[in-house]
Homo-oligomer: A and B are copies of this chain.
Amino acid sequence: MRIPGDRASESPLTEPQRPPLRPRKRDYAGPACMPSAGMQEGGTALAAEWRPPPTGPPVHVLHLLLGRRLANRESEERKIGAFEGVPAMGLDAIGSSAYGPEAAMAVLAVAGVASAGWTGWVMAPVIALLLLLFASYWQTIRAYPGNGGAYAVTRANLGPNASLLAAAALMIDYVLNVAVGISAGVGALVSALPSLHPYTLPLCIGILALITIANLRGTHDAGRLFALPTYLYIGSFALVLGTGVYRSLGGGGTLAPVVAPAPLPPAAEAIGAWLLLRAFASGCTAMTGIEAVSNGMGAFREPRVAVGHRTLATIVIVLASFLAATAWLAQGYHITAMDQAQAGYRSVLAQLTGAVVGEGVLYYVTMGALLCVLALSANTSFVAFPRLCRLIADDGYLPRPFANAGRRLVFSVGIGYLSACAALLLVVFGGITDRLIPLFAIGAFATFTLSQAGMVMHWRRVLRERDPGGRGGMDRLHLLTNAAGMAASAIATVIMAVAKFSEGAWITLLVIPAVILLLKTIRGYYDELDRNVRDLRPLDLSHLQPPVVLVVTEEWNRLTDKALGLAMSISPDIIAVHLTQLAGPDCEEKWSELRAQWRRDVEAPARAAGRATPQLHVLTAQYRTIHEPVLALVQELERNHPGRRIAVLVPELVRQRWYQPLMHSRRTRHLRAMLLKHGGPRLMLISSPWHLDPPDPAPDE
């Protein structure tokens, strides 16, 4: 029973002079005792003080993959500026500059030669809507700098139901964006290098793994890692477009392509309002992803609003100018979208780059960087989705682990969940997710609309509060901006839903209510939990009798010895339970030996010390489980001792080596689980650990 390192020498019968429990201040500057000192930073110091013993903890595999664990106090250093923000959050929007115009022109292409003149007319309202959304999100970020996403804005201004609609639409959109973005990028790569075609799915999963790991390392690392392709694409494509625009302005409107674009197809349909609207709706897909900055505000370093504005402005200016220049030059060079299904397909951007600079080094640099940007556009979701989920989880609509920061201070559960969902979609669709595209975008535009509506309500309230009855000045301008944005994105949403309904948009319209139901069910669980565990009464001190302690022992050894000493230190009423036939009907029984030992080694010393003698009960384990006879005894004791707590004390051999689980039965673990599950509310469980080796140094996880 002598505990190693035990230096006290009190007599067992006299209550020893207890040392003061409150740690002496001089050698224990650690935890603050709240009643006297309130919360102090000392707590922080202590938490950092505990270090594993220096006997070389094994290097953890997570350490190699994700880097060392980060402390909470390091969080400010891990925040990002605009330089990392553009690659981290802007890849989706910037990559859209490649496929937005193409999507619009593909709709127009049915009009044949007539289409060439209309590209600009379609892209102009797209760019106008983009700038309107830019202005709205600029204001949203300033008004909600902590968490400026549509979810927070609608929750604050339109109530929980609208915010759940926004949450569901955004969550679905982010998951789809990962699958579609990666498979589109790999699709472009595979059409450039057809020999890679058999590896489509492995390539998709590989890129997904890369993005997942980069983001689990933190948004900072992901932003740095993806900066090179992002800025390379921006730089090289700006050079191409700049050259083209310069030539077109100098050449007086007539442009000679270096490499000729594809000839215009024959007309199948006349230009009409419905065709133009559909082209507009397709072009709007270029805008998805610009809300990501508002959802990812938590990633920015201070001054947060300024950094957010800088990031958003960079992304939108790049996107808008690329869209405008592309539309301008496509009309100038008479470029139109080719049919992807036909051989010899070249994307609009490839035709355009070829027409402006020919197929030289710059062409390949631009196309290579574009491939990377497309493949990595999923990163936007990985930055925004976990932070969105954190907000939703904070409100109890998602499981709480979504709100816990992981080893690198990002919300690892959200990242893992996003990655798992996207991997599932990629595997189910074999890495070709074209069919998911119609499901897409609608969610984003529904969210834009809700977010703008929320901002309109916000400004109305601000107007009422600040300047009741007045004109409002700037605030009224803000309100009008958001109202215009709301109207435009509502119109775009309706056009998209109608245009793409039969292609699959109806699935989105079915899934969104299902997700909302799930979110509400989760909230219901937490509400019920809270009702059950909430406690407003003061501590009840009327039943402080020590518990009856059952010590479960298989044989008499030092584990039992330690456990009995422990039991005697907390209660005078101790029953040791020995189980027979635990290994089966034929197993060798040691109970007579145990009984003799009990008399000699337990009862005699207890009597000599004048203490109540612990009793030994022998139970038969008919079903070779410990929990059944122990639960029967517990029930009996509860009947005979109403109000008493029953503690079951189990000596536990700590498994410190890999092979130990193979060498011992899982009975103790099973007992614990069963007692927890089936024991009544008066049961408590005590583990008395026993280490064969000195306790392990904790690995630096």
CB pair B545 A557 closer than 8 Å: no
Residues of B contacting A600 in the complex (Cβ-Cβ under 8 angstroms): 538
CB pair A585 B548 closer than 8 Å: no
Q: Which of B21, B406, B547, B565 contacts A539 (CB 8 A)?
A: B565
Count of residues in A whose CB is under 8 Å from the partner chain? 177
A44 to B537 Cα, complex, angstroms: 44
A471 CB within 8 Å of chain B: no
CB pair B539 A1 closer than 8 Å: yes
Q: Convert A604-625 into 0s and 1s, putting 1 for each residue whose CB lies closer than 8 angstroms to a CB of B.
A: 1110010101011111111110
A537 to B142 Cα, complex, angstroms: 73
Select from chain B the residue with minimum beta-carbon distance to A564.
B539
CB pair A684 B681 closer than 8 Å: no
CB pair A543 B664 closer than 8 Å: no
Select from chain B the residue with minimum beta-carbon distance to A8.
B643
A236 CB within 8 Å of chain B: no
A603 to B541 Cα, complex, angstroms: 11
- A14 CB to nearest chain B CB (Å): 11
A664 to B635 Cα, complex, angstroms: 30
A696 CB within 8 Å of chain B: yes
CB pair B544 A19 closer than 8 Å: no
A411 to B609 Cα, complex, angstroms: 45
Q: Which of B49, B546, B639, B685 contacts A689 (CB 8 A)?
A: B685
- A243 CB to nearest chain B CB (Å): 46
A624 to B47 Cα, complex, angstroms: 10
A258 CB within 8 Å of chain B: no
A627 to B701 Cα, complex, angstroms: 12
A650 to B620 Cα, complex, angstroms: 31
Select from chain B the residue with minimum beta-carbon distance to A641.
B19
A298 CB within 8 Å of chain B: yes
* Residue among A406, A541, A637 facing the most chain B CB atoms (10 A cut-off): A541
A274 CB within 8 Å of chain B: no
- A284 CB to nearest chain B CB (Å): 34
CB pair A28 B636 closer than 8 Å: yes
Residues of B contacting A475 in the complex (Cβ-Cβ under 8 angstroms): none
CB pair B47 A621 closer than 8 Å: yes
A654-696 residues with Cβ-Cβ distance < 8 A to B are: 654, 656, 659, 662-665, 672, 674, 676-692, 695-696
- A392 CB to nearest chain B CB (Å): 14
Residues of B contacting A11 in the complex (Cβ-Cβ under 8 angstroms): 542
CB pair A677 B692 closer than 8 Å: no
CB pair B543 A636 closer than 8 Å: no
A659 to B399 Cα, complex, angstroms: 10
CB pair A633 B46 closer than 8 Å: yes
Q: Which of B599, B617, B664 contacts A31 (CB 8 A)?
A: B617
CB pair A545 B619 closer than 8 Å: no
CB pair A656 B677 closer than 8 Å: yes
Q: Which 7 A-B pairs have the closest CB atoms?
A: A405-B584, A1-B540, A50-B632, A8-B643, A75-B585, A31-B617, A570-B570
Additional pairs, 13, CB under 8 Å, beyond known A401-B665, A532-B692:
A2-B543, A39-B580, A72-B581, A72-B622, A403-B583, A405-B583, A405-B587, A522-B663, A538-B601, A538-B605, A547-B570, A566-B645, A687-B687
